[in-house]
Structures are given as structure tokens and as C-alpha cells.
Structure 1
Amino acid sequence: MLPAVNLKPPFNITRFSHVVLEVNDVGCSRDFYVNVGGLVETEFADGVSYLRGLSEACHHSLVLAPAGDKPACRRIGYRVFLEEDLDTAKIFFEEKGLPAEWIDVRNQGRTLLVSDPSGARIELCSSMSVHPRMFLQVHEHRGARAQGLDHCQIMVADPVGLSAFYGELGFRTSEYIAAGDTLIANFMYRKGVCLDLALVPGIGPQLHHFAYTVSESSDIIAVCDFASRYGYGDSVERGPGRHGPSGVLFVYLRDPDGHRVEFFNNHYTTIDAELEPIRWDAASLSTNVHWGMPAVSKWFFEASEFTGVPLERPEKMPNPMTLERYAEGLAKS
């Protein structure tokens, strides 16, 4: 069921690194992520805002750039360990017949822009400029005090096939959702906790969400309060709740352009080689949450397109337990 994993991949991706979003109003979006999420702005240059969490030393984990035709995800980013990994990665992607080109990115070292088999656009870099961490500057903290970028979830037409591709790159599975022998969704990692990349079925490729860690469980409630304080109360889309997979406390919000961001308390460790992936039954409500209601329909089906990347529809669309379906069942009982 689960694709094989190459434990000695051709190049070393170390972690999910950053997200580049296109937004209608950079200032408005920046204020949302600073005042509600608690990110700090490292730099504003040429109309682009570069943000990071309080525990992050590298220049940015979230980039907000002016949108073209409409808000979208321009790229997601991963770090590689050494500069030489970039050269090996270029050869790897070219041999697969996938796009790979060198690009210049502000405050990043040499950067390789690639596409995975779904078409998702990805930056690979080995370094960024470094700045003092802000987690001890408590007098400057705001919002949910987001600490650091942790993972992203991507909707794709073929999660199984894409899982095999990332398995070649050394991504291991921490948990997965299956119906019988059929893999539905896969939660994969590189950095030694249980998630860097989640692959779920749907029209894609689209960025379903990206997620920041918070230090305290109370910060998850705080982000809802700050959303309300700054006029974004109706942007709280799902939660607070506790995930089935990973078991973390979470909340999801939509930013001013509809991009989805999650805030959650941290994961468990998965670095040891003997640990086996955890299977979740797609038919169980606990796959969604341990307690509380399932998510509304739009949480499952709405996401951010990648700029200029055509969408592909899966052979069979997912039919998850949504809040609407759940309420309908209660009304009939």
C-alpha cells in the first residue's frame, strides 16, 4: 500500500522551509499575519513582505508578493543540507523530465526552481541570510506568537503516485489514511517530527494549507481572539480541535485572500528508523478529529492554486465526512 522509501536519497532535503503567496494587498495581508498570527517582518522591499516566526533565525518563512490575475501560491520551498545537494537535485529532476532552473531570490543562497510530477512549483535552497531570533523579545510579541513554519498540505489528483516520488527523495510516512488497501492521504516528513508534507486527494496541485507551530495551547485560543479583535472573526474556519493524525491541537484560519493557515502545538518525534507508520481508517470520524465536529465542506475542497499551473481532476473525487453531511445524518436520526 505505502510506496517504498529511499533511506539514502540522491540529495538531502532537510525540511519544509517557506511559502511564497501572491496577495491582492500586501499591507493588509502583512497586518493579518503580524497582528493575528504573531509573525515578525524581517524586511519589506520592492513591494514584497518577508516574514518569519519568533523562533526562526532564517530571513523568511512566508513571503507576500503582489498578485497577478488573482491570489495564488507562487511556490513552496524546501531546504537542502549542502550547496552540492542543489547540483545533484538539478540532475535528478532533469533525468525525470521535470523542470529545473536556477533563479535569483532575495536573501536566499543559490536557488533551484523545480516542479514535482503534479506540477507544484518548488524552490530548493541551502541557505538564507540569518537574523536574531525574536522569541525572547516578549515585549514585542503579538497575536498567536507563531514560532516557526512546520508543514504544508497539498491537494493532488494522484496522492499515491506522488507519495512514491517523494519516497525516492527520502520522505518517510508517519501516518496515513486508508480505505481498505487503498491509500487516501499520506503524511510525510524529513526533519524528524511527523510532518513536512501532507498529500491529500482532490483537484490539484493546490496548496490546501501551510502551518505554524505555537508554544502554548492557549495561543490557539489567542489566535481566534486576535482574529476577532482585528475584524477577522469569520476567518476562523475550523477548530479549535484535536487532530486524529498527529493528535495536535489546532485551528485553521483563512487570510484576507482566502489562503489557509493552520496554527498548532508541536509534533512528536519520528526520527528513529524502527518506527512504523500509523494507519487511520477513512471511515472513522476520529480520522478528522478526536472530539468536536468534522470540518465544513469548503475545508476539504477549497485551496490555493499554484500560479500558472494547470489543474488535474482525480478519477474519483473524495467524499469525506463534512459538517454538512454529519448534520444531515443527525437530522434524519
Structure 2
Amino acid sequence: MLPTANLNPPFNITRASHVCLAVTDLARSRDFYRDVIGLIVTAETDDTVYLRGLEEAAHHSLVLRNVESEPLALYVGFRVRMAEDIDAAERYLASTGIRCERVEIPHQGPTLRFRDPVGTHIELTASMDVVDRRMQSYNEFRAGSPQRLDHFQVVSHDVQTATEFWSTLGMRMSEYTARDGTDELWGTWLEVKGNTHDLVFTNGHGPRLHHFAYTVPDTTSLIHAADVAGSLGFGDEIDRGPGRHGISNALFLYLRDPDQHRIELFTSHYQFIDLEDRPMRWDLSNPRRAQLWGMPASRRWFFEASKFPGEPVRKPLLQAKPETLEDSLSIH
């Protein structure tokens, strides 16, 4: 039976909010996200850079922290509606046996950290410092002109457990992938803000952050981002696309940063708001779920992702071999 959303959750999550990455060369990563992707640098210190999209009034949606060891995905962040929701989240998570921690974070209001049942590192915050939106500062649009952070995709060894947990917290499943003829979940697209997804879980060795994604104004912005990446020497870091997903209907472009963290730029997904609307099912055997047109993804797109600190990567409960670009080329 498919998990269903709790319409009266114990606290109110409003959207995907921010992501924090550990990077090994802070200046090079800052330059990549500013010049190749097009984000705005809000602030920087000796060891941290804060960036945001052009539409965003929140102080940051991407945080880069300098490390001397390996690059990692430190956590993915969600906004809750009010400070009282942080209190409610703390009480609820403790009641279910999940350890959580209050933390003081620059430019953020009340903030809580925890690990979900499949090991995803999560941060909840109730507020951020407010900064000027730049959505009409067209002279500052560059590369892909990313507007706002939209969602995260996490690779998990147990998609069913992850989906059940987040459904309990009020997330609705807009689309899902299942083995043909069953409801055995291989991928779930979960939302709280009324489009197709804020958080995605896909089957694989996890927990690992597969990518985080920003919306862009239009298709031309995706092509321009690819051109800029090529002209600045990052053409080999175009990981996939441009193309169109079956799931979500989005036009997409994936790139890898200097530490191989993956970012998606995309446009044109749809609304999923009405409660009578049912999630769209995709059979695992249907290749159109991943691309309506274009070549299949490469092996590295399927099998490489960013680890969370201190989390052992577990073998997936479900086993399958995806069709990759390399497989397609060998056939032809």
C-alpha cells in the first residue's frame, strides 16, 4: 500500500530551503557557483560562503564550508512556518526516538538538526535574515540565472521507509516509480509547496545527496548555462542534458562542481496542489520516466553522489541495473 500524507502533521514544513556543502577549495567553488551557475554571493568569511538565487529574499540557499579533508554534503535544509514549529518538531522527533540538536547558525533563526530514519542529514529553520531580491536586476543575470532553490534528491537504500517517514510529516507524493505490476517503491517525489517535489528519494547505495536543484527562467537559460560552462572550461562537468524528464516534465541540465557535488538547473514542472489529485505512477521498465527525449544518463549520474558525514553507505534493499549512456553506445 502506498504511503499517504498526514494532512495534520506534527509541525509545519513549508519548502526546501537550503543546502550546506563541504568543499576543498572555497574560492574555486565560490567562483563556480557565481560564474558558471549564476548564483549571487550574499556574504563570505574566511571559511564560509553564502549564496542565493535571484528571486530569493532569504539570506542564503547554498552554504559552502571550507574543509581540508573530503568533500561532503553536510545537510539539506527545510523551512518551517514559525518558531513554534521548531519546538513542535523537537518534541515530536524525541517522541519517536530520533535524536535532534538545537544549533546556533549565522543568519538563521531557531534551527534544529537531526538524521531521518535512512540517514539523511536534515536541518530545519524557522527564519533567515532578509536581503534584497534581485529578480528585476537583469544586469546581474548571468549563466543560468538561477531564481530559487527548489528541491533535493537523495539516494537511499530504503525508499519505502524514507517515504513513510516524510509522509507522516505532511509531504505528499506527486509521482513514483515502482517495479512493474507492484507498489514496490524505487523512487518517490514528495512535495509540500504545491509543485512536483521538494524532496526525492531514489533507490541506491545511500544515504547520499544526488543533487540539489534551482529553477531558471526559461529554456534559453539552460542552453546559456551550458555555453557558459563550456566557455569557462567546465564543459566536461556537464553531467547530463539538456533534456526533458518524464517524471515532473522538467527541462533539465545537470553539472558537477569542482568537488563533484551535483547541481541541477531546470524549468517547467507543474503544480500538484489539489488533494484529490493522485500521484502519477511510472513502471520501472518505462525509460520515458527519466527522459522523454535525448540520450540515457551516464553511469556516473546513476552511481556517484555526495556522502553525508559519518554515515555508512548501505547497499540498497532493491536491486536493478539501469540503462546507461555507455550501455546505449555499446549497443550501437
- Give per-residue Cα distances to partners, 1:216-252, cap 9 Å, x unaligned: 1100001111101111010001000000101111010
1:259 paired to 2:261:
yes
Q: SS of 1:87's equivalent?
A: helix
| Structure 2 residue aligned with 1:213 | 215
Task: Tell me, yes or no, if the aligned pair for 2:249 and 2:270 is still in contact at 8 Å.
Answer: no
| Structure 1 residue aligned with 2:162 | 162
| Structure 2 residue aligned with 1:203 | 205
Extract unaligned runs of 5+ from structure 2.
Answer: none
| Structure 2 residue aligned with 1:226 | 228
Q: SS of 1:311's equivalent?
A: coil
Q: How does 1:285-324 map to 2 (within 5 A)?
A: 285-324=287-326
| Structure 2 residue aligned with 1:143 | 143
Q: 1:154: how far off? A: 0.2
| Structure 2 residue aligned with 1:11 | 11
- Give per-residue Cα distances to partners, 1:277-333, cap 9 Å, x unaligned: 0011110111110011110111011000011222211133331111122233x33xx
More deviation, 119-128/316-325: 316-325
Q: SS of 1:198's equivalent?
A: strand
Label 1:163 to 1:68 Cα distance change in 2 as closer, same or farther (>3 A): farther
User: In 1, distance between residues paired with 2:193 and 2:82?
Assistant: 15
1:237 paired to 2:239:
yes
Q: 1:93: how far off? A: 1.2
Q: How does 1:65-84 map to 2 (within 5 A)?
A: 65-84=65-84
Task: Tell me, yes or no, if the aligned pair for 1:157 and 1:314 is still in contact at 8 Å.
Answer: yes
How big is the alpha-carbon RMSD for the aligned residues of Structure 1 and Structure 2?
1.1
User: In 1, distance between residues paired with 2:258 and 2:214?
Assistant: 17
User: In 2, distance between residues paired with 1:159 and 1:67?
Assistant: 30
Normalising by structure 1, we get a TM-score of 0.97
| Structure 2 residue aligned with 1:44 | 44
| Structure 2 residue aligned with 1:123 | 123
Q: SS of 1:170's equivalent?
A: coil
User: In 2, distance between residues paired with 1:239 and 1:6?
Assistant: 35
Label 1:201 to 1:26 Cα distance change in 2 as closer, same or farther (>3 A): same
Q: 1:68: how far off? A: 4.4
| Structure 2 residue aligned with 1:284 | 286
Structure 1 letter corresponding to 2:44: F
Q: SS of 1:310's equivalent?
A: coil
Task: Tell me, yes or no, if the aligned pair for 1:108 and 1:129 is still in contact at 8 Å.
Answer: yes
- Give per-residue Cα distances to partners, 1:58-101, cap 9 Å, x unaligned: 00000000124200101110000011010110111111211201
Task: Tell me, yes or no, if the aligned pair for 1:22 and 1:68 is still in contact at 8 Å.
Answer: no
Q: 1:41: how far off? A: 0.5
Extract unaligned runs of 5+ from structure 1.
Answer: none
Task: Tell me, yes or no, if the aligned pair for 1:239 and 1:250 is still in contact at 8 Å.
Answer: yes
User: In 2, distance between residues paired with 1:229 and 1:99?
Assistant: 46
User: In 2, distance between residues paired with 1:64 and 1:317?
Assistant: 34
Q: SS of 2:247's equivalent?
A: coil
More deviation, 89-98/70-79: 89-98
User: In 1, distance between residues paired with 2:61 and 2:104?
Assistant: 17
User: In 2, distance between residues paired with 1:231 and 1:327?
Assistant: 25
Q: SS of 1:246's equivalent?
A: helix
Normalising by structure 2, we get a TM-score of 0.97
User: In 2, distance between residues paired with 1:139 and 1:288?
Assistant: 35
More deviation, 15-24/38-47: 38-47
User: In 2, distance between residues paired with 1:215 and 1:5?
Assistant: 30
After the TM superposition, which segments of 4 or more aligned residues of structure 1 sit over 4 Å from their partners?
none
Of 173, 185, 188, which aligns to 2:187?
185
User: In 2, distance between residues paired with 1:87 and 1:292?
Assistant: 47
Q: SS of 1:70's equivalent?
A: coil
Of 308, 325, 328, which aligns to 2:327?
325
| Structure 1 residue aligned with 2:176 | 176
User: In 2, distance between residues paired with 1:298 and 1:233?
Assistant: 16
Task: Tell me, yes or no, if the aligned pair for 2:80 and 2:125 is still in contact at 8 Å.
Answer: yes
